[in-house]
Structure 1
Amino acid sequence: MTSTAQDPDPIVISGMAVEAPGGIDSPSAFWSALADARELITPFPRDRGWPLEDLLTLSRIDGWAKVCDAGGFLNGAAEFDPAFFGIGQREAIAMDPQQRVGMRVAWKALENSGLNPGDLDGADGGCFIGVSPMEYGPRGGEVNAYSGHRIVGFGQLGVAGRISHGIGLIGPSMCVDSACASSLTAVHLATSAVRAGECEWAIAGAVCVMGSPIAFYEFAKHNALSTDGHCRSYSDDATGTLWGEGAGAILVERESRARALGHRVYGRILATHTNHNGKGKPILVPRAEAQERLIRRTIEIAGIDPGAIGMIEGHGTATRAGDPAELTALQNTYGSGDCAPLVGSVKSNAGHTQAAAGILGLIKVLLAGQHGHIPPSLFAENPTTRVDWDRSNLRLATKLEPWEPTNGVRYGAVSSFGAGGSNAHAIIAMPVREESDDF
């Protein structure tokens, strides 16, 4: 991928929308929660039919860890107006809620850019959505009231297709599953498609709504869940991750198109890149060396001095293996210059939103760039002692701090790492002249 410095007409982000735990349904509400250092964790929802008594007593079984009655859950996961999107009631019920939330967020991202989604039938727009299977609804291999709707009701199969079909887009449309790296992988593919002329513009993003508590069961067996109901990213008090839900979407297009149509430019995508850990260690184990290769390659593509990066939105799963590996890679790349970049993770606010983790982190960086401040990462007052902080300039963001631009531009980076070994990284430039609060 060529860098913005080499590209006279770079790819920009000109629209965005987000839904996060705690009733967050807009970028402004999201920013308020981040700036105020609010934790958005709540008890498990009681309206999903989950076997809570079994789930919350797993630690009584040998080899299983405690599951806390806590997570980051979307308040509006069940809210959907099928008639608005031309969908029948029975089909809507059969649809994975990830499809419903994904359609809603994509629509809002287009409106945020200044486009009317109702006028885009036949538009050369692409759609790239990160999503993982979440076990929603009855089995497909049985006769039930929703048979016939299940083939396109499965979340992973239909989110991008539902969005393209509902709006009328004719560009490339696909779901992306690289586990927790899905969001940034989708952004990478969307940006590449626009640059290659496969579509004029594209929606990129991800969604995670847990149709079942499978993620809690799996990580309880791995003894990798938080034991106190908090996601303490990069903290010495971290005991494991905490699962959450979320959704986000951005609009990417050439800057010339955005300017011509009067779209607001939130940021320029200087570079995105993906790689894989390769073989060796178990598939769930993160690799510092692979992450470092990824970051160095992304910096090279972007064509910038890594010392220009002021904010790093890390992955920050709060796991004993994950955080030290990631911080080591960040210290070896961004932490070795004269600047002192601040690192944090939105997971400390909302939990680990899985496929949607990267897009929430990217939108956090865009909002920080717009407001000229870096929000704090929760639980950062006691940094992990599993890395030597004195060997680099990297520091955790512990409070709301001004973000000074470099030559009129704020540069930020975002990382995501998937459980299957996939890694993704992005570098974004946000010109100060675009700064405004009314969005």
Structure 2
Amino acid sequence: MSPAHGVDDEAVAVVGLACRVAGADSAEEFWRLLASGTGAVTRDERTGRWAGRIAHKDRFDAAFFGISPREAAAMDPQQRLMLELTWEALEEARIVPADLGATRTGVFAGIINDDYATLVRRTGPAAVSGLTATGLHRGMVANRVSYLLGLRGPSLTVDCAQSSSLVAVHLACESLRRGESTLALAAGVNLILAEESTLGMERMGALSPDGRCHTFDARANGYARGEGGAVVVLKRLADALADGDRVHCVIRGGAVNNDGGGTSLTAPERAAQEDVIRAALRRAGLTPGDIGYVELHGTGTPVGDPVEAAALGAVLGTARGDAGPLRVGSAKTNVGHLEGASGIVGLVKAALCLAHGTVPATLNHDTPHPGIPLDRLGLTVPTSAVPWPARPGRPRHAGVSSFGMGGTNCHLVLSEAPAPRPEAGPAPQAPGAVPLPLSARSEGALRAQAARLLERWSAH
């Protein structure tokens, strides 16, 4: 059966997701932010620097996760964020975390920064304790989850610079396809905690002086940093359908490569980007005309944007037949560049676009970059929300790109979720009033659960 229309061995389902970015504490809030064309990058009054920041990153319910206050204080907040997002993603997938003990569930986390270690080391040897080694170790970002839930699958942290989290998703999919994992959690987290990490990127010339990511625009002058992260819960599509899971989208195929030496260590290379997109498209069993949208790496840098546009145009834009120009965009214009976590945030955005049948506006785009002839490349950057019509019998497809500054490139191809199978038997009768039990570990948490439920009910 064709991968575009049925279940194949390569297909992996996203059955749960959670995210937290500037201006949004959930995937639903993220979609509202995107759909409304909101930019959540703000200027810090104390430092004068621009960034997409999340709130309450200093808060953590250690007791909920069975962690002592002393150990929680020694932990990098990125480990804490990973635990919180994992729990939320499993709940969203309707999976009871306690049921995963001793299963071959894999954990793959993309992370590149360790600002908390910088803060601790600033204070000198007195700040070092027996908990410091695990608390500051980036490998523990994945291992904490495996330990908490008693998981027996692979557990690893991926660092290949800015492409880390999308590569983590790719590795998770490969683990599922090989049968190494029966369920996989793929993630990326990024927090800005130390001035040194911002200074480094600023002095490298990567950051935008005006705090805006002008993707594919003539004003492209760098990016604004962003905080947050996301976790997706993955299963083989065949297993997800057999289990009756709700499917957000399907990962049809993907590829990873490296630039292999360009003009400099950090300069992108067009031929390598073309190769990785072609390989992912080939593995997905699709043609250029099948792809309706690509979530760009799209950092808004004057060197990187023209290279990315040229590669996309060569592979997807100019080979579309009568499919029309390829829509492209970047969530970085809304929430900033989450660096090691940016790829998975782009994947969540693409999944939401597939589900809602809409491509949101890319912000801060007025005049195309002089080095990006959009018409000739067969590309278009929507500056307002654009409907993405369904085609009878043909699912929507999207691409997601993420490129590391050391040349590690990743591209994944997504499809919209298959239509739910009709249930056999008579139509269910409309129920009357039913009890709705809620549980939590404290009175305050129970009230918060009730408030979230009321908010969701009101929204839907």
Q: Which TM-score applies when normalising by structure 2?
A: 0.86
In the alignment, structure 2 segments of 5+ residues that lack a partner are: 422-455
Matches within 5 A, 1:19-418: 19-22=20-23, 24-44=24-44, 52=47, 69-136=49-116, 137-139=119-121, 143-336=125-318, 337-338=320-321, 339=323, 340-406=325-391, 407-418=393-404
Structure 2 distance, partners of 1:377, 1:255, is 31
Change (3 A) 1:433 1:114: same
Q: CA deviation at 1:9?
A: 7.1
Task: Tell me the secondary structure at the aligned position of residue 138 of structure 1.
Answer: helix
CA gap of 1:121–1:160, structure 2 versus 1, over 3 A, is same
Identity %: 37
Alpha carbons 2:13, 2:250 under 8 Å: kept: yes
Q: Given that residues 10 and 177 in structure 2 are in contact (C-alpha distance below 8 angstroms), is that contact kept between their aligned partners in structure 1?
A: no
Measured in 1, the distance between the counterparts of 2:222 and 2:113 equals 22
Work out whether residues 310 and 377 of structure 2, in 8 Å CA contact, stay in contact via their aligned partners in 1.
no
Counterpart residue type for residue 79 of structure 1: R
TM-superposed deviation, 1:432? 6.1
CA 432–7 in structure 1, closer or farther in 2 if over 3 Å, else same: closer
Worse-matched range after superposition: 2-11 or 27-36:
2-11
Q: Equivalent residue of 2:226, what SS?
A: coil
Partners of 1:134 and 1:117 in 2: CA distance? 28
| Alignment match, 1:62 | none
> How far did 1:120 drift?
2.2
Verify: 1:433 aligned to 2:433, yes or no: no
For 1:422, which of 408, 414, 438 is the aligned residue? Answer: 408
Task: Give the aligned length.
Answer: 416
Pairwise CA distance, 1:307? 0.7
Aligned to 1:14: 15
Aligned twin of 2:450: none
Q: Is the 8 A contact 2:299 2:332 kept in 1?
A: yes
RMSD between aligned residues: 2.2
Bigger mean CA deviation after superposition, 298-307 or 252-261: 252-261
C-alpha distance in structure 2 between counterparts of 1:6 and 1:256, whole Å: 6
1:87 is paired with a residue whose SS is coil
Deviation at 1:140, TM superposition (A): 9.8
Question: Partners of 1:430 and 1:354 in 2: how far apart?
Answer: 26
| TM superposition shift of 1:431 | 3.5
Q: Give 1:376 shift.
A: 0.8
Aligned-partner Cα distance in 2 for 1:219–1:250: 28
- C-alpha contact 1:416 1:424 (8 A) present in aligned 2: yes
Where structure 1 has 5 or more consecutive residues not aligned to the other structure, the ranges are: 47-51, 53-67
Letter in 2 for 1:409: P
| 1:346-381 CA distance string (max 9 Å, x none) | 000011110110111000011111111111110123
Q: Deviations over 1:176-207 (max 9, x none)?
A: 00111011100011000011111111000110
Name the SS for the 1:32 alignment partner. helix
What is the TM-score of this pair, normalised by structure 1? 0.90
Distance (Å, rounded) in 2 between the aligned partners of 1:115 and 1:417: 32
C-alpha separation in 1, matches of 2:417 and 2:206: 40
Q: Tell me the equivalent position of 1:58.
A: none
> Larger radius of gyration, structure 1 or 2?
2
Residue 199 of structure 1 aligns to which amino acid in structure 2?
S
Q: Detail structure 1 runs of 4+ shifted over 6 Å in the superposition.
A: 2-6
SS in 1 for 2:274: helix
Q: Distance in 2 between matches of 1:6 and 1:326?
A: 31
Separation of aligned partners in 2, 1:155 and 1:398 = 41
The 3 A distance-change label for structure 1 pair 140 and 252 is farther
